[in-house]
Structure 1
């Protein structure tokens, strides 16, 4: 019987864009691979890659305790049914809820990928009591979820790992530092710089903590001296995220001809080939 690997991710499209190659590699290594995520319409593409897809009831940004408990119960039920030999969990809710479920069921191996700290860890002037309480609660849950000797936690930069270590959320010997999710060089080959006017691109979800506001401010400074320079925001709006930038604001920047908002794009290799500079000013 083939060993079983299960990915637990917030969105199906996130797995498709960030973890598909890893899932396919596990399948080619002989694993029975399943992906559990919120179904936004990308599940079919996951199945076409030879992986099983299981819809999950995640609510992005949801804080209703009743629904969150139902989500946790659904994960426990999923893990009990699937009996995975390896669980790979990505993003905050899958990591927190999945680790608690795996601990309760004593699953043999859990890998957590911290793809970023998110808005909860960013301290801002004027944070209300509810936000501070949420931050404290999430830290306490991380501390419990990551404590098992069967859990390994992957970080993509040393700063995030340091935040977790200094807060006592994880032990250093149970962490792994990698250089990111990786790039498929067959899809994103090196290309010569285009001969057009300079184009600066920020590819990300349209969130304030992705540094979008700073990017727009920088565009205004640069374009005042170099009016031929062009700046483009490439990514969709995220209405569920508390740090999401309103579409009205994005449209207003577009109308001012300060920066262009290109929205979500599926042809990112072509987009990046047009760029002279790619900027990632995340907090």
Structure 2
């Protein structure tokens, strides 16, 4: 029986985004080992019967000794467990998993990069210094015929090709991790909303500045006087391991001042989406945002920015509204437009649901991902014959 290693930078990610893939791999005849830094969702994974193990990894560590220790730990794990294919999610895990796979016998390896991450999107000095090193590491990790890289939108595909981070024949375009359309579905029943009714719109995301948090708060302040029936909600918690994290104190202050309603961490996302009228994500750049395709599955109208990743989910005025990034005025205007036009909300939401069924159903995504595994197996067979 073949053995697959799924490697992510949080156990929360594995639990929320990759459980279905792990189950599909098991159904396809793989033994699956999950690894990530330690955290509470590791125990939940074990309770579901998965072999989850904590990795000695600090997401943002720059200590060379810690990084070499992690790399050596991965190499030893691959050798000891006789792993046949390594699948790393996010840039750091994709690079380290692939490097370890090369050293531990040139094993087949898959990197899945959901957006270019802090190093490529931030304008900070730290990110600018790290960028050339990460480019070099990507080239080393993705070298050889036994490597594949999954990207989530055409813009990232073009960037990786133009920067020569990977060969075109190694790249695969798969839109996100998919959505379970049987869980994320429209609310049943309920009265049809009118213009005078309350209007609730939520931004569900890791609480990072580059998700458009500042614009969200500014839009809420603008709408207070003109549209008092609108409530802007924020679902999520600060990501302490990310340099772009917004301090929790700010959310508490905004919440206490009545500017926004901060929900904190929400475990039941289908129930949240079924309780609101629309969803927004004014992000600066994405891979392919899970929150938007989940909201689309629930038949909600979407507001997002015309940037890579987001525009792959929303077509302007067909299943949502696209606005310029970093523009609080445009965000406020789009929210007001939906609140003032219940029929438009209904039309956009219905179209979003249809698109989720046609393009983002997780079964479609899993089938394409398993195809990458099969592609690697075929390549390996050609090399050994």
Deviation at 1:42, TM superposition (A): 1.4
> Which residue pairs with 1:142 in the alignment?
138
> Which residue pairs with 2:15 in the alignment?
16
> Which residue pairs with 1:94 in the alignment?
93
Deviation at 1:150, TM superposition (A): 0.8
Deviations 1:23-52 (A, max 9, x none): 011112221111011120212221233321
Deviation at 1:168, TM superposition (A): 1.4
> Which residue pairs with 1:160 in the alignment?
156
In 1, the alpha carbon distance for the partners of 2:149 and 2:186 equals 31
Deviation at 1:206, TM superposition (A): 0.4
Counterpart of 1:143 in 2: which secondary structure?
A: helix
Deviation at 1:158, TM superposition (A): 1.4
> Which residue pairs with 1:27 in the alignment?
26
In 1, the alpha carbon distance for the partners of 2:282 and 2:114 equals 15
2:47 pairs with 1:48: yes
> Which residue pairs with 1:205 in the alignment?
206
Cα contact 1:119–1:209 (8 A) shared by 2: no
Aligned residues: 279
> Which residue pairs with 1:112 in the alignment?
111
Write 1 or 2 for the structure with the bigger share of helix. Answer: 2
Aligned CA-pair RMSD: 1.7
Q: Matches of residues 63-78 of structure 1 in structure 2 within 5 Å? A: 63-78=62-77
Specify every segment of 5 or more residues in structure 2 that has no aligned partner in the other structure, as ranges.
285-385
Deviation at 1:248, TM superposition (A): 1.1
Counterpart of 1:111 in 2: which secondary structure?
A: strand
Point out 4+ residue stretches in structure 1 off by more than 4 angstroms. Answer: 192-196
Cα contact 1:236–1:264 (8 A) shared by 2: yes
Deviation at 1:123, TM superposition (A): 4.3
Q: Which among 129, 132, 136 is matched to residue 128 of structure 2? A: 132
Instruction: Name whichever of 163-172 and 228-237 sits farther off.
Output: 163-172
Q: TM-score, normalised by structure 1?
A: 0.93
Deviation at 1:155, TM superposition (A): 0.9
Q: Matches of residues 79-90 of structure 1 in structure 2 within 5 Å? A: 79-90=78-89
